[in-house]
C-alpha cells in the first residue's frame, strides 16, 4: 500500500467517523456528488500535510536471525528537533496467530503519534504457527533493544520509549513493562543483547494477563504472563478494558491490577462499557485521550491537544445521558475535575452551557476519591465539577493532607478564566452564571467560609453545620453572608453534624433553606455507594432545580413530596409563596 493511499484511507476513516458523530445524520441525506467533491478536497489537503510533516519507512528488519517476519515500520516527524524524541512501539493483536502491522488501526495510530512528534515503530512478530510462545515476547524485547541500539540515528531518547498493544499485543506490551528486569523470563537476548529492554511506560488494551483455562499448556508458564510478575516495578502501566469483554475477562484483568497495586505498582485503569474492541475500534473517545495523556506524562512530551495529565473513568462514566470522565488538569494542580467526556454534545443536548459545582471534601482533605461515585454521577447529567485535591488513580495511592478553604475561591477563579479563554476546552462549554458549592463534613464549613462569594448561586452543606462552633475559617457568623438558597443534608441523630445543622437551619432568616434528612445514612452519608446512593440523587435534584430551573423538583423541596426517598424527612422555609 502506498503512503499516499494509506493517508487518504486514514483521513477518510477519521473524517467520516467525526462527520457522522457530529451531525448524527445518515449519509444518504446528502447527495453523493457534493459529498465526494468536498471529501476529495479534504483528503488531498490532509494527506499532503501529513507527508510534509512525517516520513515513513516500511519493512525494516529489527532482527535477521529469526526469519523474514521480524519487521517493523518506522514513522518519524520531520518538524522540530530531530534528536532525543520520545518513541512509541506499537504491537498488533490477533491472538498471537494472526494480525499484522499493516492493519489499518495500527497504521493510523502510527501516523497519528508521529504527527504529534513521537518517533513510532509499528512491529510484526513471529506468530505461534511459525514459532511457539515465548518467541513473540522475545521479539518485542528485541525490537525495543533495536530501537535503543539505533537511537542516535533514529533521533530517539532511549530512556523515553513506551509501548502500546491491543489484545495479544496488549499482553506483549504489558510483558515489556513487567518482565524487562526480571530473571524469571528466559531471554536469549537476540542480536542486540548488549542493550537492555526496559521501557519508560506500557499501555495494554484488552490485555490478557493470564490464561484463565488451567488446562491450557500456556497456563503452566507464569513467566509468559503478567500474572507471573506480581511485585513492585518502576514502569508505569495503563490498562484499557471493556467491562463486557467476552474474550479477555474483565475480572481477570482487574484481579491482576489489584494485585499489582497491592504490591506497590501504581497501575492505572480506564474501564468502560464495551467488548473486546475497546481501545481498538470501540470507546476511543475515552481510551485515546487517556493514552495521549499517559504517554505525554511519562515520555515527557508536551501535547497541546490534551489539556489534562491523567484520566480515569468512574463506574463506567455514570448513569446520566453524558458519560463522564475524571481528569487532572495541567493548569490546575491540586484539584480533580469531573465532566462529560464530550462536553460539546452535552451542551447541545442539554440546551445550554453546563453548570459548575465546586466540591470540598470531608475532613478538609485533599482527595475527592471517597465522593467520586457521586461526583461522576452528577457530571454524567451534564455538570462540570471541580473538587479540591489531586486526582487519585485508586484509593490509598497517596497520603492525604489538610486543605485551606481558600482553595474553593482558587477553583472558581480558574473556572472563570477557562470560560473566557478561547483556547481552553471549557470555553463556550461552562456557564459561570450557574455555579454552586458543596462540601461534606469539614468541607461543608469550607463552603460556608466562602458564602459571601457573589458567583455562587446556591450552596449544599452535606452532613455539616456550624452551630456554635468554629472550623475551617467558618462560624455562625458565616451564615449572615449567605445570599442564595441553601440545602442542608444530614444522616439522622447519629450524624455528628445533625444538631449543628438543626441550629443553622433555625438561625437562617434571609435566604431560602431546605433541610433534608436521611436518618439511616449517618455522618458518612451514601456517597461511596454505587452512583453515590440516595444522597447523590438528592444533590442532583437540588442542582437541577436551583441551577437549571427545572420545576419538576419544586414538589420535592417545597411540598416534601418524597417519592423515592423512603424514610427521609424535609423541612423548608423562607421561600416566597406563589
pLDDT per residue as tens digits for the range 514-525: 999 999 999 999
Same fold, 62-306 and 318-573: yes
Query: pLDDT grade, residue 47 (50/70/90)?
Result: low
Q: Which residue has the higher pLDDT, 65 or 181?
A: 65
In CATH, which of 3.40.50.1820, 3.30.420.10, 2.60.40.10, 3.30.365.10 is domain 318-573?
3.40.50.1820
396's CB contacts (< 8 A; 6+ apart) are none
Question: Residue 504: is its pLDDT beyond 70?
Answer: yes
Lowest mean pLDDT among 30-44, 355-369, 400-414, 452-466: 30-44
Top-confidence residue, 49 or 427 = 427
Lowest mean pLDDT among 24-33, 118-127, 477-486: 24-33
C-alpha torsion angle, residues 478, 483, 484, 489 (rounded to 10): 10
Q: 62-306, superfamily in CATH?
A: Alpha/Beta hydrolase fold, catalytic domain (3.40.50.1820)
pLDDT at 44 over 80: no
Please say if the pLDDT value at position 18 is more than 50. Answer: no
Task: Please compute the mean of the pLDDT values over residues 319-346 and round it to a whole number.
Answer: 98
The yes-or-no verdict on residue 40 having pLDDT over 80 is: no
Which position has the grid cell 467520586? 372
Q: Across residues 328-332, what is the average pLDDT?
A: 97
Q: What is the rounded CA–CA span in Å between residue 331 and residue 334?
A: 10
Q: Which residues pair with 374 in a beta bridge?
A: none
How far, in Å, are 95, 97, 194 from residue 126 at the CA level?
12, 9, 22
pLDDT at 578: 61
Judge contact between 318 and 346, C-beta under 8 A.
Answer: no
Per the CB < 8 A criterion, the answer to whether 108 and 71 are in contact is no
pLDDT at position 193, please?
83
CA-nearest of 214, 196, 128, 141 to 172 is: 141
Average pLDDT taken over every residue of the chain: 91
pLDDT tens-digit series, residues 245-258: 999 999 999 999 99
Can you tell me the mean pLDDT for 353-372? Answer: 98
Write down the residue that cell numbers 533495536 correspond to.
Answer: 146
User: Half-sphere exposure of residue 445, counting CA atoms within 13 Å on the CB side?
Assistant: 22
All three cell numbers of 28, joined, read 444518504
Domain assignments of the chain as residue spans, ordered by start? 1-54, 62-306, 318-573
Q: What is the mean pLDDT of residues 19-41?
A: 39
In this prediction, residue 51 carries a pLDDT of 61
Query: For 576, what's the count of Cα atoms within 13 Å in the CB-facing half-sphere?
Result: 1
Count of C-beta atoms within a 10 Å radius of residue 535: 25
> Which H, E and C letters describe 381-443, residue by residue?
CCCEEEEECCCCCCCCCCCCCECCCHHHHHHHHHHHHHHHCCCCCCCCCEEEEEEEEEEECHH
pLDDT digits (tens, 9 = 90+) for 145-166: 999 999 999 999 999 999 999 9
**pLDDT at position 399, please?**
86
Q: pTM (2 decimals)?
A: 0.90
Asked if residue 25 has pLDDT above 80, the reply is no
pLDDT of the residue at 192: 85
The 10s digit of each residue's pLDDT in 259-299 is 999 999 989 999 999 999 999 999 999 999 999 999 999 99
- pLDDT tens for 181-220 read 777 777 776 788 889 999 999 999 999 999 988 888 888 8
Provide mean pLDDT across the span 170-187: 86
pLDDT exceeds cutoff 90 at 458 = yes
pLDDT tens for 530-544 read: 999 999 999 999 999
Using one digit for the tens of pLDDT, what is the confidence trace for 67-111?
888 999 999 999 998 999 999 999 999 999 999 999 999 999 999
Amino acid at each position: 500500500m502506498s503512503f499516499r493511499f494509506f493517508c487518504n484511507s486514514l483521513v477518510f476513516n477519521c473524517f467520516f467517523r467525526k462527520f457522522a458523530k457530529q451531525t448524527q445524520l445518515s449519509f444518504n441525506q446528502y447527495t453523493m456528488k457534493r459529498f465526494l467533491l468536498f471529501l476529495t478536497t479534504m483528503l488531498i489537503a490532509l494527506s499532503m500535510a501529513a507527508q510534509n510533516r512525517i516520513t515513513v519507512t516500511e519493512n525494516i528488519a529489527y532482527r535477521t536471525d529469526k526469519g523474514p517476519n521480524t519487521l517493523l515500520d518506522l514513522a518519524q516527524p520531520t518538524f522540530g528537533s530531530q534528536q532525543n524524541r520520545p518513541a512509541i512501539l506499537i504491537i498488533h493483536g490477533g491472538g498471537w496467530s494472526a494480525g499484522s502491522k499493516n492493519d489499518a488501526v495500527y497504521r493510523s495510530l502510527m501516523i497519528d503519534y508521529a504527527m504529534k512528534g513521537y518517533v513510532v515503530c509499528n512491529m510484526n512478530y513471529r506468530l505461534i504457527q511459525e514459532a511457539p510462545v515465548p518467541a513473540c515476547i522475545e521479539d518485542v524485547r528485541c525490537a525495543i533493544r533495536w530501537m535503543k541500539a539505533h537511537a542516535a540515528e533514529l533521533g530517539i531518547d532511549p530512556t523515553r520509549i513506551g509501548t502500546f498493544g491491543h489484545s495479544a499485543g496488549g499482553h506483549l506490551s504489558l510483558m515489556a513493562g513487567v518482565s524487562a528486569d526480571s530473571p524469571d523470563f528466559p531471554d536469549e537476548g537476540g542480536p542486540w543483547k548488549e542493550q537492555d529492554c526496559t521501557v519508560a511506560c506500557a499501555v495494554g488494551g484488552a490485555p490478557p494477563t493470564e490464561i484463565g483455562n488451567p488446562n491450557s499448556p500456556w497456563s503452566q508458564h507464569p513467566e509468559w504472563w503478567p500474572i507471573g510478575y506480581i511485585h513492585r516495578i518502576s514502569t508505569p502501566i495503563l490498562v484499557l478494558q471493556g467491562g463486557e469483554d467476552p474474550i479477555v475477562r474483565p475480572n481477570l484483568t482487574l484481579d491482576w491490577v489489584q494485585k499489582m497495586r497491592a504490591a506497590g505498582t501504581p497501575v492505572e485503569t480506564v474501564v468502560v462499557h464495551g467488548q473486546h474492541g475497546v481501545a481498538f475500534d470501540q470507546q476511543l473517545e475515552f481510551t485515546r485521550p487517556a493514552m495521549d495523556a499517559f504517554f505525554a506524562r511519562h515520555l515527557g512530551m508536551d501535547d497541546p491537544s490534551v489539556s489534562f495529565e491523567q484520566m480515569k473513568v468512574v463506574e463506567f462514566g455514570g448513569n446520566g445521558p453524558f458519560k463522564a470522565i475524571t481528569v487532572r488538569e495541567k493548569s490546575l494542580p491540586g484539584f480533580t475535575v469531573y465532566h462529560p467526556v464530550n462536553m460539546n454534545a452535552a451542551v447541545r443536548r442539554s440546551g445550554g452551557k453546563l453548570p459548575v459545582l465546586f466540591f470540598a471534601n470531608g475532613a478538609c482533605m485533599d482527595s475527592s476519591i471517597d465522593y467520586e461515585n457521586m461526583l461522576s454521577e452528577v457530571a454524567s447529567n451534564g455538570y462540570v465539577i471541580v473538587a479540591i485535591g489531586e486526582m487519585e488513580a485508586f484509593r490509598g495511592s497517596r497520603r492525604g493532607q489538610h486543605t485551606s478553604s481558600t482553595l474553593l475561591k482558587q477553583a472558581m477563579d480558574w473556572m472563570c478564566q477557562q470560560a473566557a479563554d478561547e483556547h481552553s476546552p471549557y470555553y463556550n462549554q461552562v456557564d459561570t452564571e450557574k455555579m454552586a458549592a458543596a462540601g461534606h463534613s469539614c468541607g461543608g464549613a469550607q463552603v460556608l467560609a466562602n458564602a459571601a462569594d457573589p458567583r455562587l448561586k446556591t450552596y449544599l452543606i452535606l452532613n455539616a453545620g456550624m452551630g456554635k462552633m468554629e472550623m475551617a475559617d467558618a462560624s455562625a457568623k458565616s451564615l449572615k453572608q449567605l445570599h442564595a438558597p441553601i440545602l442542608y443534608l444530614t444522616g439522622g441523630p447519629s450524624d455528628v453534624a445533625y444538631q449543628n445543622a438543626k441550629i443553622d437551619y433555625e438561625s437562617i432568616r434571609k435566604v431560602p433553606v431546605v433541610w433534608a434528612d436521611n436518618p439511616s445514612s449517618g455522618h458518612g452519608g451514601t456517597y461511596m455507594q454505587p452512583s453515590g446512593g440516595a444522597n447523590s440523587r438528592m444533590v442532583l435534584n437540588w442542582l437541577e432545580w436551583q441551577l437549571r430551573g427545572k420545576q419538576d423538583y419544586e414538589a420535592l423541596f417545597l411540598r416534601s413530596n418524597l417519592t423515592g426517598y423512603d424514610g427521609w424527612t424535609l423541612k423548608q422555609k423562607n421561600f416566597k409563596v406563589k
